[in-house]
Structure 1
Amino acid sequence: MTNRLVKHIQNLLPDFTAGEKDLSPFITTRVVKKDEILLRENEPCDALYFVARGCLYLYYEHHAVKQVIHFALENWWITDYKTFAMKGPAVYSIAAMEDSELIVINRQQYEALLNQYPMVALYFNTIHERAYGAALLKQKTYATTTKEDFYKYFKNTYPDILARIPDPIFASYMQVNLEELVQLKQSGVS
C-alpha cells in the first residue's frame, strides 16, 4: 500500500525521492469493511485517510437523515479537514462504502512527515487545491442546474465513480430521495 502512496506523490512531484522505507514511520495501514465507520461526528478528528483500494464517503446527519457530501476513491485523501486542522470535534462522519485498504496518517505523524520531508507540504497543497476546486465546481454546478442536468453532468463526467456508488448514497449526495433518483435514471438522462 505504501508504494501506491509513494507513486502518487512522485506522480505530482517527480523530484520526490523518498521511498516506502522512508515514509513507513509516518503512516499506518488499515483494512476496513464495507459500512465500517472511521470517524463519527463529535469525535476527535486526528487522521487523514488515503484510499489505496476501495471507497469512503464523508457525511453528516441532519434530522436523522444521512447527507453525503464527498467521496474518496483510489488515490484520494479524505478527512474532516476543518477539525483535523483545528484539532476539534468532527462535524462530519466518514464511512467505508466498500471494503477498503487505507493509509492513515495521524496529526502527529503528519507534522513529523512535513518536518522531515518539507516537499510533502507541496504535495498536500496540490491535493487540497484540486479538492477545493472540485468542491466549488460541484457546488456551482448543483446550484445552477436542474437535478436532471446535474445527474447528467455527473454521469457523463464520472461514469466509473457513479457505477460504484449505491443508489441510496448517491441520492443523498444529490439531495434527492431514492424515488427521485430512480426516476432520473429511468428517464433516460444521458
Structure 2
Amino acid sequence: MSKQLQYNKAESEEVGYVLNVLSRVHAVDAKLKEEFENHLLRLSIKKDQILFNENEVCEYIYFIVKGALMGCTTHNKQKITTYISVENDFVSSISGLHGSGYSQEYVVAVEDTHLLAMRNDELNRLFSHHFELNYIFRVVLEKYYKDAQQRAHIIRVGNAKERYLYFAKTNPGYLDRLPLALVASLLNVKASTLLSIKKNFSEKDKNKELEEWGQKLELHINKHQSFRHKDVRLQSLAKEIGLSSHKLSIVLNSYFNKSFIDYINQYRVNWIKGSIRNPDIMQNFTLEALAYSAGFSSRSAFYSSFKKLVGMSPVEYSKTLNKEKL
C-alpha cells in the first residue's frame, strides 16, 4: 500500500535533474523551480512492491529516476499488464489522474526503483499559476496517449511477430532487461510464443553482426596485408580492427569456420599461389623467399600449411602450373 511508503524531501541534484527534463519541453522560470525545490519528494521501492493499489486514490504523480514500473489490472482473476514505464517516464493513475478518482489499475515495481514525487494537490495548484507547467504536461500526455494508441492498434491488428517488432523498436533494450512474461502480457501473446520469436530474431541479429565483422576483417586484411607480418597475433589483429580477442575468435570460428592460424595461413598461401603464377616473380625469387615474404617463419611451416590447404606441396603446385602452360 502507498501508505507504507517512505517519502522524503528531494535532494537539490534530484530537483535539478527533473527540472532539466521538463526544460527540454519548455523553459521553467525561477518561481516554478523554487516550488519544485520546496515540494518535490523522493522515495525508493523494492522489486514487486506496490506503489498504489486498485480502488485507491493515487495522491501523487511520479517521475522514475531509475528502475521500472508496470501498470496492471485484473479481469476474471487474471492479471493484465496495461503499460511499462522506465527511466524519465512520468507515472500516475490513468483512470484517477491528478487524484480525481479511484484508480482502476495498480502499479508495481518491476525492479528496485527510485522515484521523485509531487502531491497532486500541489501540482494542481501549480497548474493554476504557471502556464509553462500546463504546456509541459500537455506535451507529456500527448506523447503518452499517442504511444498508448499505437500500442493498442498493433495489439488489435498485428500478429505476434509484428507485436514483437513494435516493442523492440519502441523500447530498445527492454526485451533483455524486463521479464519475458511481463512483456508477453503487455503485448497479449503467450510467453512461449514471444520467447520463440525472440530467439529467432536474436539468431538473425547475431548472424548479421558476424557477417559485418567478418567483412570488416576481410577489408582490413586485404588493405594492410596483416598476414605478411610474422608477429601477427589474434590479440594484435583484434586491436587493429576494434574487436575484443574473444569476439574475433568467435568471428573466425563461427563465420569463417577457421582457427586464427589457418585463417592467416590461407591468406599467405593464396598470396604465394598468386606469386607462383607470375613468371617475373619466379625468375627472381625462390619458393622459400616467397614464403618468408608472405609471413611464414620457417620452411617447414610453409610446406606443411601449403600442403594442408592446397592438397599438394608448393613444388608440385608449381610443376602443375608449368604443365598447364605447355
Q: Do the structures match in fold with TM over 0.5?
A: yes
Asked whether 1:142 is paired with 2:160, we answer no
Give distance in 2, aligned partners of 1:53 and 1:144: 33
Aligned equivalent of 1:188, options 201, 204, 213: 201
Indicate if the aligned counterparts of 1:56 and 1:72 stay in contact, CA closer than 8 A: yes
CA-to-partner distance for each residue in 1:123-162, whole Å, 9 max, x for gaps? 1011001111111111112222211111022223322222
CA-to-partner distance for each residue in 1:46-103, whole Å, 9 max, x for gaps? 2211111111111101222221111111111111122124622110000111111111
Give distance in 2, aligned partners of 1:107 and 1:158: 28
More strand by proportion, 1 or 2?
A: 1
Indicate if the aligned counterparts of 1:70 and 1:173 stay in contact, CA closer than 8 A: yes
SS of residue paired to 2:133 = helix
Partner of 1:123: 136
CA displacement at 1:166 relative to structure 2 = 0.8
Partner of 2:247: none
Letter in 2 for 1:64: K
| Stretches (4+) displaced over 4 A | none
Partner of 2:122: 109
Indicate if the aligned counterparts of 1:26 and 1:113 stay in contact, CA closer than 8 A: no
Asked whether 1:99 is paired with 2:115, we answer no
Aligned equivalent of 1:58, options 60, 71, 74: 71
Aligned equivalent of 2:186, options 173, 185, 189: 173
Give distance in 2, aligned partners of 1:118 and 1:165: 37
CA displacement at 1:30 relative to structure 2 = 0.8
Partner of 2:100: 87
Percent identical residues = 22
- Unpaired runs of 5+ residues, structure 2, are 1-13, 205-326
SS of residue paired to 2:104 = coil
Give distance in 2, aligned partners of 1:53 and 1:89: 27
Give distance in 2, aligned partners of 1:86 and 1:31: 21
Give distance in 2, aligned partners of 1:31 and 1:40: 17
Letter in 2 for 1:6: L
Partner of 1:33: 46
Give distance in 2, aligned partners of 1:115 and 1:140: 35
Letter in 2 for 1:44: V
Q: Which shifted more, 168-177 or 125-134? A: 168-177
Letter in 2 for 1:73: V
Partner of 1:16: 28
- Unpaired runs of 5+ residues, structure 1, are none
Letter in 1 for 2:69: L
Give distance in 2, aligned partners of 1:186 and 1:112: 50
Higher relative contact order (CA 8 A, sep 6+): 1
Indicate if the aligned counterparts of 1:44 and 1:90 stay in contact, CA closer than 8 A: yes
Partner of 1:77: 90
Give distance in 2, aligned partners of 1:161 and 1:169: 11
Give distance in 2, aligned partners of 1:81 and 1:105: 16
Give distance in 1, aligned partners of 2:113 and 2:33: 20
Letter in 1 for 2:109: A
Q: Which shifted more, 124-133 or 59-68? A: 59-68
CA displacement at 1:20 relative to structure 2 = 5.2
Indicate if the aligned counterparts of 2:57 and 2:99 stay in contact, CA closer than 8 A: no
TM-score by length of 2: 0.54
Indicate if the aligned counterparts of 1:171 and 1:181 stay in contact, CA closer than 8 A: yes
Asked whether 1:68 is paired with 2:72, we answer no
Partner of 2:145: 132
Partner of 2:168: 155
SS of residue paired to 1:44 = coil
Q: Which shifted more, 178-187 or 51-60? A: 178-187
Partner of 2:235: none
How many positions carry a matched residue from both structures? 189
SS of residue paired to 1:34 = coil
Indicate if the aligned counterparts of 2:67 and 2:113 stay in contact, CA closer than 8 A: yes
More helix by proportion, 1 or 2?
A: 2
